[in-house]
Structure 1
Amino acid sequence: MTLSDKVYSTLKELVAEPGVSGTESENLTSEKIYSIISEIPYFQNNKKNFGMELIEEDPYGRSFVWGVVHGKEQSNNTLILTGHLDVVEVEEFGHLKPVAFNIEECTKRISELNLDKEALRDLESGEWIFGRGTADMKYGIALDIEMLRELSEERNFKGNLLFLAVPGEESNSEGMIASVPFLLKLQEERGYDYCGVIVSECCIPDNENDKLKKLYMGTVGKIMPLFFCVGKETHAGESLKGLNPNALVSEINRLLEYNPDFSDQVNDTITPPPTCLKQLDLKELYSVQTPLYAAAYYNILTLSISEDKLMRDLKELSLKAFNNVLDLLKEKRDKFIKKSPDKVQYMEVEPCVMTYEELLMEVKAKVKDFDIYMKGKVELWKKEKMDNQTIAINIVKETYEKYNSKKPMIIVSFIPPYYPHKYLQGIDDKSKRFIEVIDETIELAEKKFNEKLIKEDFFMAISDLSYTGIEGSKNLDHLSSNIVGYDINYKLPLDCLDKLNIPGIVFGGEGKDFHKYTERLNVPYSFNVVPELYKNMIFSLLK
């Protein structure tokens, strides 16, 4: 079989193992990948060079899979090929759900569903295959495996080629996060010096007429601010004697939702403005008492902004929201007083905004063994199958309730998941060399394959490249203190990431319509061109 045939054959096998994110079925995909690797002769003779690593405390018992091939010529230089093995569910496939994980059947029958003009054109061209996981991103895993297999035969390179397949990217990137200490362990015990990482996600055309293929020099970051609003409860018949936290959270939404001031920009790339992912009050049962707590968290994408700067901006917005609510409340109260001057009782409120870090420091100074107490609460919430975001809200609530100064306030924090942005710049010898190899690869694509491959600044769909190092100088203590549940519920190894900081890119085949029933992979480019470009890149970096 040719290399392209091998990649296709492996892709078919991997797609057939569903591995839906956040379920135990991800283990089936891990086991399939491990089984394929274990049949490669090199690994049969080098059993210490591959394995499955269990993710600690994972509710689904998931594992990531790894394998490393040593070149004939020894060197510490180590290139990582990585991707995620999980996929999203297939409810949108309707009656085609039974064939969603069968590439050939799905491609044959996909026209039974309603296809837009572009998807129908691609189907009729015969150059695209359909099915869940084809583009996002089992093609990338299949490509990496076959690169490993091919290069393990002659081993005519200098250094080491490390493959890593991780679960959980479509949920909270549990697999890649768990692999970070493992990579650091390999670095310390085997002396590996990571010269680069390639995340084999497919590129995505900007529109139906876009013929350019893309290689991404970085990945967008994601941070989720939580606004926990504390009001003052009162009987609904005496509404002016309290402060409804829903008013606070609503004003925050008015100021932050779609606010372009919170769009980050690098060169021509700009992130979409923020949007609210969840807004709620914490009152569980009906009564005529107003709520005491309300909360909202938002999706904010980053390219260059620091977490410190973002937190300052969010505090400023929160203070503005608080003052706006109090001003509006006074205006409405004064109108009511004119109608009923003898019956009005009301409460005066001073605006108060705190970061979670500030609140936590004050509580820890007063409450002995607070961390131990909170760990116990988190364990109970986990048993109740709460998601990380709900647990984070509960942690802030518990922390506030241990706070001595009970008063209306807005507590601003970050909650899981946190994705640092990354961008490859020529600031050291490793990254300079990587950029040189990228430029050589782009030239090869045009000369040999007549493909116009371009460098885009950022992969905008979020990727595990975020967990290959921390860029720039960050106050890690300050960052971790503002991530709710850090090291209690959310195991994010910031110290390990700070030590790694591997230069990396996102580069794979070409795909469309991730997370839709029209998900599809371009055949000519993905199977005939990209494997050859990969080989060139690998040999150039490991020589």
Structure 2
Amino acid sequence: MNIKDKIMDTLLKLVEVRGISGTEDENLTANKIYDIISEIDYFNNNEEKLQILQIEGDPLKRHFVSALFCSSKPSKNTIVLTGHLDVVDVEDYGHLKDLAFKPLELMKKIDELPLSEEALKDLKSGDWLFGRGTADMKFGLSLGIEILRELSKRDDFEGNLLFLAVPGEESNSEGMLGAIPHLLTLKKQYFLEYIGLFVTECCIPKEVGEEKKRIYLGTSGKVMPLFLFVGKETHVYESYTGLNPNLLASELNRLLELNPDFCDEDRGDITPPPICLKSTDLKELYSVQTPLMAASYYNILTLNLSVDDLMDKLEKLAYQAFDNAINIVEENIEKYNVISKSNNIREKIEPRVLNFGEVYEEVLKEKGEKFEEFIKEKIKLWREEKKDLQTIAINIMKETYLQYSDKAPCIIIGFAPPYYPNKHLSLSKKEDEILLKVIEDGVRFSKEELKTDIELDHYYMGLCDMSYTGVEDLNNLSNIVSNIIGINECYYMPVRELSQLNIPSVVLGGFGKDFHKHSERVNISYSFSLVPNILENIIYNLFKQYD
């Protein structure tokens, strides 16, 4: 069986395993990967170099897989092939969701679901494999496994290959964060130097119909501003006397949703605008009292983030939203007074925007260690209840406000986990410069030998675990991390360990479309036939640079 067929065989085996993100089923995929790699001859003879390890402190007890091949010619130089093993849920497949993990059967029926003109054309071409996880990113894992199998068999280079499959990337990247200490352990145990890391995510089109193939020299970052809206509760009969936090939230959303002023730009790339991932009031039971609090958090991608600049912009926007909300209320009360022939007078409310860190410190000053212990116990309870990190962050803000002495309406701003640092190859670092040269040579090899054009792009905008392969600005990273709600209690960001890694990294994989949609698919001719040759060429050349 040639490597193309081997990758396809492995891909179908992996896709068949559900492994939905944020569930214990992710371990099913980890176990399957472990079993497949254990069949490779090298790992039969070196069992200690194939490991399945639990993420420390993970409430779901998820595991990652590590397989280290050391060539017969002793070397410290090591290349990492990595990807995530989890996939998003399959509710979008509707009545075909039972077939979402069976691509060959799914493709016989997928036209029963709504498909775009482009997706239908790709289906009819026979050059695309549809199914959940085919592109995002079990092709990348299958590529890494079969490259590992093939090169360990040849053993004709001087260097080491480390394959790393991690869970949780679709949620909070718990897998990659949990694997960072392991990378440092291996480095110390086997005297390794990490000279390159390849995240084998598929490249994705920038617009409908585009067929360009890409290698990414960096990845965008992500920060999630979290807003707690505190209003003034009232009986619905006297609605004009209160302030509904849902109005504050909706006005903030009107101003922030898809606002291009919050796009980040670098090296000619620009991030997509922010989008709200969740907005909810915090009223637990039905009553005719208006809610006291609401919360929302937003996805903001970054390329050159200054947390101080972002906070300043968010505060100004929050003040504007608050002021707009008050004006809406007052204008509507005036109209109501006219039609009802009333003279309702409203208590004046001033716009107020607070920083969560300052509120927390103020409460800590007032309540002392007892409050800190109270929050820790609450976090422990919420984790036992398997609440997600974002809900825990909202709950921390809520409980902190309830202990805050100044109960006037306000908007409190903090940051929810996860945080993804942006990262890019730096020409000021020798190792990064070497990898860039090898990548450029690989692009030429693809054009001249394989007759395939590949474009070098600066940033992968889909978010990936490349964010956790080193630190570009330690001070800025420390500043941002210190502002994340729940840091060190329920969310782990190994800043010190990341600063010890700094692995030159790129995103290099197949070609896929429609991630997280029922039309998710991976291109066959490029991904299975050409990419293995391109990646092999780059691996060999990178090792040669360190001979």
Query: What band does the TM-score fall into relative to the shorter chain?
Result: over 0.9
Deviations 1:196-218 (A, max 9, x none): 21110111234564342111111
TM-score (norm 1): 0.93
- C-alpha distance 248-205 of structure 1, shift in aligned 2 (>3 A): closer
Give the match's secondary structure for 2:439: helix
User: Are 2:356 and 2:412, in contact at CA under 8 Å, matched by a contact in 1?
Assistant: yes
Specify the alignment match of 2:438 in structure 1: 437
Deviation at residue 9 of structure 1 after TM alignment: 1.9
User: Are 2:59 and 2:386, in contact at CA under 8 Å, matched by a contact in 1?
Assistant: no
Deviation at residue 193 of structure 1 after TM alignment: 2.1
For the pair 1:518 / 2:499, whether they are aligned, the reply is no
Give the match's secondary structure for 2:485: coil
Specify the alignment match of 1:105 in structure 2: 105
Gaps of 5+ in 2: none
Partners of 1:173 and 1:392 in 2: how far apart?
Answer: 17
Partners of 1:486 and 1:387 in 2: how far apart?
Answer: 14
- C-alpha distance 368-146 of structure 1, shift in aligned 2 (>3 A): same
Specify the alignment match of 1:412 in structure 2: 413
Residues 372-451 of structure 1: pairs in structure 2 closer than 5 A: 372-451=373-452
Specify the alignment match of 2:473 in structure 1: 472
- C-alpha distance 332-268 of structure 1, shift in aligned 2 (>3 A): same
Residues 240-279 of structure 1: pairs in structure 2 closer than 5 A: 241-279=241-279
Q: Structure 1: which amino acid aligns with 2:536? A: K
Partners of 1:96 and 1:430 in 2: how far apart?
Answer: 47
Partners of 2:317 and 2:208 in 1: how far apart?
Answer: 39
Deviation at residue 88 of structure 1 after TM alignment: 2.1
Deviation at residue 237 of structure 1 after TM alignment: 4.4
Partners of 1:511 and 1:205 in 2: how far apart?
Answer: 8
Residues 18-417 of structure 1: pairs in structure 2 closer than 5 A: 18-207=18-207, 209-239=209-239, 241-327=241-327, 329=329, 344=344, 346-366=346-366, 367-417=368-418
Partners of 1:77 and 1:54 in 2: how far apart?
Answer: 26
Partners of 2:398 and 2:214 in 1: how far apart?
Answer: 45
User: Are 1:356 and 1:481, in contact at CA under 8 Å, matched by a contact in 2?
Assistant: no
Deviation at residue 301 of structure 1 after TM alignment: 1.5
Residues matched between the structures, number = 543
Deviation at residue 250 of structure 1 after TM alignment: 2.6
Q: Structure 2: which amino acid aligns with 1:146? A: E
Deviation at residue 343 of structure 1 after TM alignment: 6.1
Partners of 2:261 and 2:497 in 1: how far apart?
Answer: 32
- C-alpha distance 291-118 of structure 1, shift in aligned 2 (>3 A): closer
Give the match's secondary structure for 1:542: helix
User: Are 1:246 and 1:294, in contact at CA under 8 Å, matched by a contact in 2?
Assistant: yes
Q: Structure 1: which amino acid aligns with 2:294? A: A
User: Are 2:307 and 2:479, in contact at CA under 8 Å, matched by a contact in 1?
Assistant: no
Q: Quote the RMSD (CA, aligned, Å).
A: 2.5
Deviation at residue 17 of structure 1 after TM alignment: 1.7
User: Are 1:212 and 1:451, in contact at CA under 8 Å, matched by a contact in 2?
Assistant: no
Deviations 1:164-197 (A, max 9, x none): 0011222222211211222223234433222221
Give the match's secondary structure for 1:165: strand
- C-alpha distance 342-135 of structure 1, shift in aligned 2 (>3 A): closer
- C-alpha distance 499-350 of structure 1, shift in aligned 2 (>3 A): farther
Deviation at residue 455 of structure 1 after TM alignment: 0.6
User: Are 2:421 and 2:477, in contact at CA under 8 Å, matched by a contact in 1?
Assistant: no
Specify the alignment match of 1:460 in structure 2: 461
Q: Structure 2: which amino acid aligns with 1:38? A: S
Deviations 1:478-528 (A, max 9, x none): 323321111112223233223323221111111222223322222221122
Deviation at residue 77 of structure 1 after TM alignment: 2.2
- C-alpha distance 92-253 of structure 1, shift in aligned 2 (>3 A): closer
- C-alpha distance 379-114 of structure 1, shift in aligned 2 (>3 A): same
Deviations 1:129-188 (A, max 9, x none): 222222111111111011111221232223321110011222222211211222223234
Give the match's secondary structure for 1:491: coil
Give the match's secondary structure for 1:536: helix
User: Are 2:425 and 2:433, in contact at CA under 8 Å, matched by a contact in 1?
Assistant: no
Deviation at residue 411 of structure 1 after TM alignment: 0.9
Deviates more, 1:108-117 or 1:442-451: 108-117
User: Are 1:355 and 1:482, in contact at CA under 8 Å, matched by a contact in 2?
Assistant: no
Give the match's secondary structure for 2:159: strand
- C-alpha distance 336-63 of structure 1, shift in aligned 2 (>3 A): same
Deviations 1:416-450 (A, max 9, x none): 22222222231200110010011000000001110
Give the match's secondary structure for 2:364: helix
- C-alpha distance 10-480 of structure 1, shift in aligned 2 (>3 A): same
Partners of 2:331 and 2:8 in 1: how far apart?
Answer: 68
Deviation at residue 389 of structure 1 after TM alignment: 1.7
- C-alpha distance 112-241 of structure 1, shift in aligned 2 (>3 A): closer
Give the match's secondary structure for 1:474: helix
Give the match's secondary structure for 1:74: coil
- C-alpha distance 114-359 of structure 1, shift in aligned 2 (>3 A): closer
Give the match's secondary structure for 1:157: coil
Deviations 1:4-24 (A, max 9, x none): 222222222212222222222
